[in-house]
A and B are shown apart, each in its own frame.
Chain A
Amino acid sequence: MSVMFEEFKELCLLPGVSGNEKPVSDYIESKLSQIPGVEYKTDPLGSIIVHKKGKSAPETKLLVSAHMDEVGFIINSVGEEGFLKFTPVGGIDPRVVLGRRVIISGHTGIIGTKAVHLQKADERKQAPDFDDLLIDIGAKSKEDALKYVKPGDTASFDSDFVEFGGGCVKSKAIDDRIGCAILLSLLRQPLEYSIEATFVVQEEIGTRGAKAAAFTVGADAAVVLEATTASDIAGVEEGKKVCRLGQGPVISFMDRLTIYDRGLYNLAFEAAKASEIPCQPKLAVAGGNDAGAVHLSKKGVKTLALSLPCRYLHSPSCVIKYEDAENTLRLLKELCRIIGSKPC
């Protein structure tokens, strides 16, 4: 398949829990180093700041951003019996954690509890708290466990990359490796106007990398690439589906951290219509992303979020329809051209 698809797959499989994004940033830098017309550097937090030369200097300095980190876990302590106590990093749904496999420093671990047969009736009906859960790496004692892991190590979900159904993909970390893959592909293409780009760290723990990176870049306008919750699944009434797989990139008017620039919001739909690219509004105020940090940077930045509809966000089994990513790239390229062409 395409270069973007291959990179998307490779990116998803890399471990990169917030605070430990280096495997992902190393991969991205290795790709950037092969693109002519692209300069990049790393900031003190580990985010990558990129300048892409276009045919002309832009009327509006535009920033396009994606985050490199994924939700996961961090090891707090190693118990006497060799089991690991841990804390979630980022907002993980506690209901999808039990029975999952994780990778900690290359070793396989399991998040489990006692067998269902040993549970009392009321225990079977409640999702356990994170405080009640342990990671098992099959160690026989604390000393044994410390040969393989230590407190502070991060654990990512062990979830493979599967193509299935009608053009769907399941993987961990689609949020936001799909954004990174789209941004890499954008940077490879010849652009009308120069743009700035950032691959940032620590989004999942409070849009932190974006705050610092946006300050460094000092843009006039920004497009944040993300994955957003699609609830177009069984059991959800029509009106609450938020957005749907296969209907193109999702444009948000508002979420819990940002009211998006109305001019850019309308521009996105006009541009999509003019170029016959499907796109859809996000039909709920929910969630938040790096736009929350970017739009409040310095004197303020007009910001838009362009997202992939994604089922089962923040679980090891995120699902998207890949054609939505291709349409997101097409719309993004158009927006770069239009935004760069005039003052905003």
Chain B
Amino acid sequence: MDLHELLFSLSESSCITGEGKAADIILNRAGEYSDKAFKDALGNIIVPVSDEREGKPNILLEAHMDEIGFVVQTIDDDGFLHVGEVGGPDMRVLLGSEVTVFGKEPLFGVFCSKPPHLSSKEEYKKVPSVEDLAVDIGFGHDKAAEKVSPGDFVTLRRKPADMPDGMITGKALDNRAGAAAVLRCLDLCAGKVGCGLTAAFTLGEELGCRGAVTAAFSTAPTHAVVTDVSFGYTPDAPREKCGDMGKGPMIGVSPVISRGMSDMLVKLANEKGIPYQIEVMGGSTGTNADPVSVSRGGVATGLVSIPLRYMHTAAEAVYVSDVENTARLMAEAVKEIGGFGNVRNV
């Protein structure tokens, strides 16, 4: 599997509600590991890889495949689109940002706002809110209304790129990086799974971890590993809240996550020589691990996060090596749990 190529194609393509090229790519790739992959009632992609076996654990690997974006509310008299947020984009980067509007066909657009020479000095420094912005698609009202309707979704537009030394940058690496890691993990443990295994690529995480609720319910796992992204260090961020880029997956430790799972992941990383970091949180993790761990009667859940810079902008950046090491660690966990018996949820 060419992980770099997979990351690029997932980053460039889009998915907010389950329609979209990114979902198509995931469903397509999942087909290599399961002929029973399907979309559930909410649009989550569920990939049964290995059947449940009596007396053995049933594992769920989960990554959200939705991205932050916007939805068209109105088209004004000049053909500009007024939108609402879907999820929490970083408002400070929106002005002048390029977007794709998923109307009757995908259309190019630019976020615009009053130019500086028409703004007062105070206005000029203020970050525009989504009500102050509009999307310019280069059409007048009539043509715009033909091609776009209220309710159409909008995502950021950016072609991924390589930076020197193995870091890549693009939009939606939150959480295409996680989704790619899960697919790569399936690649690594193909044929070596001794218990039930399902991968789920879910929606609505950016709106409050919604899709994971139903995906976990239908899968009914005993153990789960959730993959997402977390904060990669930049000099202006509090060091203690970030992981380092390129230093491996961040293993989550929190009252919400199974301590047994966290310890097992650390043990495996050490044994197998996989670089890793620890990410400690005091309660909710802000990821799908939160709802998954209390699904049905409870699930022993672990969380592995890929360090990422510039979250919720089109300039997100990750190391391909961190994605690979995340996949390796998850594959080791699958092999270990399958032969492990009971991991008690502490």
Contacts and interface: CB of A to CB of B under 8 A. Distances in A.
A79 B235 contact: yes
Given A115-B231, A140-B165, A240-B118, A110 B127 contact: no
Q: State the main secondary structure of chain A at its contact with B.
A: loop
A112 B310 contact: yes
Is chain B's interface secondary structure helix, strand, loop, or mixed overall?
loop
A233 B112 contact: yes
Interface string A112-155: 11111110000011111000101011111000100110000000
A164 B108 contact: yes
Contacts of B310: 99, 110, 112-113, 115
A312 to B, nearest CB: 6
Contacts of B139: 165-166
Given A98-B93, A313-B115, A116 B88 contact: yes
A112 B315 contact: yes
A232 interface: yes
B200 to A, nearest CB: 24
A115 B138 contact: no
Interface string A84-106: 00000000010110111100000
B104 interface: no
A315 B76 contact: no
Contact of A138 (B92, B110, B165, B313): B165
B344 interface: no
A312 B95 CA distance: 9
A101 B82 contact: no
Contacts of A65: none
Contacts of B137: 164-165
A236 to B, nearest CB: 6
Which has the most chain A C-beta neighbours within 10 Å: B118, B143, B246, B317?
A: B118
Given A95-B127, A138-B165, A233 B317 contact: no
A317 B98 contact: yes
Contacts of B153: none
Nearest to B237: A114
Interface in A158-208: 158, 160, 162, 164-168, 170
Contacts of A113: 234, 236, 310
B96 interface: yes
B161 interface: yes
Contact of B80 (A79, A101, A108, A233): A233
A302 to B, nearest CB: 27
A231 B231 contact: no
B134 A108 contact: no
B231 A286 contact: no
A235 interface: yes
Interface residues of A, number: 65
Interface in A276-299: 284, 286-287
A116 B88 CA distance: 9
A316 interface: yes
B241 interface: yes
Nearest to B314: A99
Nearest to B161: A108
B188 to A, nearest CB: 26
A132 B236 contact: yes
A328 interface: no
A319 B137 CA distance: 10
B127 A234 contact: no
Contacts of B115: 93, 229, 231, 312-313
B214 interface: no
Nearest to A231: B115
Interface string B79-110: 01010000011111101111000000001111
B312 A115 contact: yes
Given A140-B246, A232-B78, A312-B110, A99 B116 contact: no
Interface string A303-344: 000000001110111010100000000000000000000000
B112 A125 contact: no
Interface in B289-323: 309-315, 317
Contact of B138 (A96, A110, A235, A319): A319
Contacts of B164: 107-108, 137-139, 147-148
Given A112-B234, A170-B108, A317-B110, A311 B90 contact: no
A229 B112 CA distance: 13
A164 B107 contact: yes
A81 interface: yes
B113 interface: yes
Contacts of B231: 114-115, 117-118
Given A144-B165, A166-B143, A234-B134, A116 B112 contact: no
Interface of A: 79, 81, 83, 93, 95-96, 98-101, 107-118, 124-128, 132, 134, 136-140, 144, 147-148, 158, 160, 162, 164-168, 170, 229, 231-236, 240, 284, 286-287, 311-313, 315-317, 319, 321
17 contacts: A93-B115, A99-B310, A112-B315, A113-B310, A118-B237, A125-B127, A126-B126, A164-B137, A165-B108, A167-B138, A168-B138, A231-B114, A233-B112, A235-B113, A312-B115, A317-B96, A317-B110
Interface of B: 76, 78, 80, 82, 88-93, 95-98, 107-110, 112-118, 124-128, 132, 134, 136-140, 143, 158-159, 161-167, 169, 231, 234-238, 241, 245-246, 286, 309-315, 317
